[in-house]
Amino acid sequence: MTMQHLRSSFWIGLYFIVAVAPLLAMLVEPPPGRGFWREFAVGIGFAGLSMMGLQFFLTGRFRSFTAPYGIDVVYHFHRLISLIAFAFLALHVGALLLASPELLLLLRPASAPAWMVTGVIGFLAFVVVIVTSLFRLKLGLSYEVWRAVHGYLSVAAVLLGVVHIMGVDYYTGSPVKRGLWLVMGAAWLLALVHVRVVKSFLQLQRPYTVAEVTPEQGRSWTLRLRPVGHDGIDFQAGQFAWLTLGKTPFTLREHPFSFASSAMERGEVRLTIKELGDFTSRIGDTAVGTRAYLDGPYGSFTIDGNRAPGFCFIAGGVGITPIMSILRTMADRHDRRPVLLLYGSKKWEEVTFREELEELKQRLRLELVHVLEEPPPRWTGECGLITAELMGRYLPENRMDLEYFICGPGPMQQGMRWAVARLGLPPHKINSESFNFV
């Protein structure tokens, strides 16, 4: 077992232990039982709240924690486990009312005890967090508004949940049990302070300025950022960072973007951003001289340390950006391993980095295959989507030895999962990157 596997197993085990710690504490000097279903409701509620609190660690961007998996995987796990935790909380409410219908009497506004009020408000806050996260686009919420709602209500809901448990005081009567919840609550808040305050303060000490804004094909723009008062950031080709534009990093308006520049360059960095959403639709209007801040680097979508005899890159749209960083780095390192790039685009005029990719063929052992959904007249190249059949026509005989890197929109990622499965490619050699964190 490799060191990375050991680290991965350690963090998974620690997560499980912390998540079930409140359940284990229930077994220490338990008070008189009140029936199976009521005790089940309490236990499942404890587990749900503990899992919700742990979300602050999952989104805290702790590199030692995210390194074994990749931060995009951790964020997708955060999304999935949040839904499971919320299901536990909903089951807590439902099972409790089924086991003890008389508790409905405590919901009267005029006579409801404080611990019941905090529990109800906290649960409703979780409902809003889940609904706005699942249906943000349908509700017409901008990323910044959603993030503010998500962040503030999540903190309020978890704190109200802890207050609710303390107020009930049935399973937290002893100092040890009460101390467990207080320690866990404090740890959750510290994780939040780490990502919202500490990281922002560190970014404040290492600002950048926008030195150039360059238009690219495919409604994309490249921002060249120059470090101010420091040497810049060291990153591995294919990684990304959270970008904040403006006078201060103490804001919710930060977004993840891949580095487009070579990792061999020092000082200035380039980020290529496509006009897709609320923030990115105005990226081309960014003024030269604008202050910028970077939180990074993050991500495991990189060839650094990879000894594969060759690579196959599969890109869709602006998913070419981290792959472009890898290709530029390979060229600067004089890396002569063979590379196959399958690049899917809608139209020829929307192919980002089209000219430079042709130039890189002179510096790399690069086979470039463009796949267009809407090809121009007299197009003789590949058309439609990247499929298993198309891949099979270009992959070399040693396809099982190659390392595969896939980056593109969600539908393309799903299609590639089917394609690599049909081709029987080794799952441990498949690397993918997705920024659909919300």
pLDDT in tens, 362-405: 999 999 999 999 999 999 999 999 999 999 999 999 999 999 99
303 part of a folded domain: no
Buried (b) or exposed (e) across 35-53, using 16+ Cβ within 10 A?
Answer: eeebbebbbbbbbbbbbbb
306 part of a folded domain: no
pLDDT at 33: 67
Do 259 and 269 touch, CB atoms closer than 8 A? Answer: yes
242 part of a folded domain: yes
Whether 346 and 423 share a structural domain: yes
Of 29, 53, 33, nearest to 42 by C-alpha is 33
293 part of a folded domain: yes
pTM of the model: 0.86
76 part of a folded domain: yes
Whether 284 and 371 share a structural domain: no
pLDDT band at 305 (very low <50, low <70, confident <90, very high): confident
Edge-first strand listing for the sheet containing 430-433: 382-383, 366-372, 339-345, 311-316, 403-407, 430-433
Integer Cα distance of 374 and 317 in angstroms: 13
pLDDT surpasses 70 at 436: no
Helix (H) or strand (E) segment spanning residue 357: helix 354-360
pLDDT in tens, 27-45: 776 677 677 888 888 889 9
Strand partners, 291: 209
**How much is the average pLDDT of 9-30?**
83
Among residues 243, 277, 298, the one where a domain terminates is: 298
Among residues 203, 227, 261, the one where a domain terminates is: 203
Residue carrying the six token digits 């991965």: 8
Whether 159 and 277 share a structural domain: no
Residues present in the chain in total = 438
Strand partners, 401: none
Whether 223 and 196 share a structural domain: no
Number of domains in the chain: 3
The token pair at 220 is 């994309």
193 part of a folded domain: yes
The strand pair at 254-258 and 291-298 is best described as: unpaired
Q: Is 348 exposed, middle or buried (0-12, 13-18, 19+ CB in 10 A)?
A: middle
Q: Which of 2-6, 257-261, 281-285 has the highest mean pLDDT?
A: 257-261
Q: How many CB atoms lie within 10 A of CB 27?
A: 8
Whether 168 and 217 share a structural domain: no
Whether 25 and 152 share a structural domain: yes
Q: How far from chain centre, in Å, is Cα 78?
A: 8
pLDDT at 302: 92
pLDDT surpasses 60 at 437: no
pLDDT band at 1 (very low <50, low <70, confident <90, very high): low
**Domain region containing 216:** 208-298
Whether 362 and 396 share a structural domain: yes
- The residues, any chain, with a CB within 8 Å of residue 404's CB and separated by 6 or more, are 311, 312, 313, 314, 420, 425, 429, 430, 431
- The residues, any chain, with a CB within 8 Å of residue 408's CB and separated by 6 or more, are 314, 315, 316, 317, 319, 344, 416
Amino acid at 209: T
The token pair at 189 is 């808040």
- CA atoms lying within 13 Å on the CB side of residue 315: 27
pLDDT band at 181 (very low <50, low <70, confident <90, very high): confident
**How much is the average pLDDT of 41-52?**
92
Whether 158 and 116 share a structural domain: yes
Specify the higher pLDDT residue, 69 or 202: 202
CATH (domain of 184) = 1.20.120
Amino acid at 384: G
Integer Cα distance of 116 and 429 in angstroms: 51
**How much is the average pLDDT of 400-414?**
90
| Mean pLDDT, the chain, integer | 89
Among residues 298, 332, 357, the one where a domain terminates is: 298
**How much is the average pLDDT of 220-247?**
94
Do 263 and 241 touch, CB atoms closer than 8 A? Answer: no
361 part of a folded domain: yes
Query: Contacts for 144-150 with beta carbons within 8 Å, 24 or more apart?
Result: 144/252, 144/253, 144/278, 144/279, 146/438, 147/252, 148/252
CA angle in degrees (0–180, nearest 5) for 264-270-276: 140
CATH (domain of 270) = 2.40.30.10
Sign of the C-alpha dihedral computed for residues 38, 44, 46 and 52 taken in this order:
negative
pLDDT surpasses 90 at 228: yes
pLDDT surpasses 90 at 144: no
pLDDT at 105: 74
Whether 133 and 263 share a structural domain: no
Sign of the C-alpha dihedral computed for residues 391, 393, 398 and 400 taken in this order:
positive
Of 271, 269, 237, nearest to 254 by C-alpha is 271
Whether 195 and 215 share a structural domain: no
Whether 170 and 251 share a structural domain: no
Whether 43 and 146 share a structural domain: yes
305 part of a folded domain: no
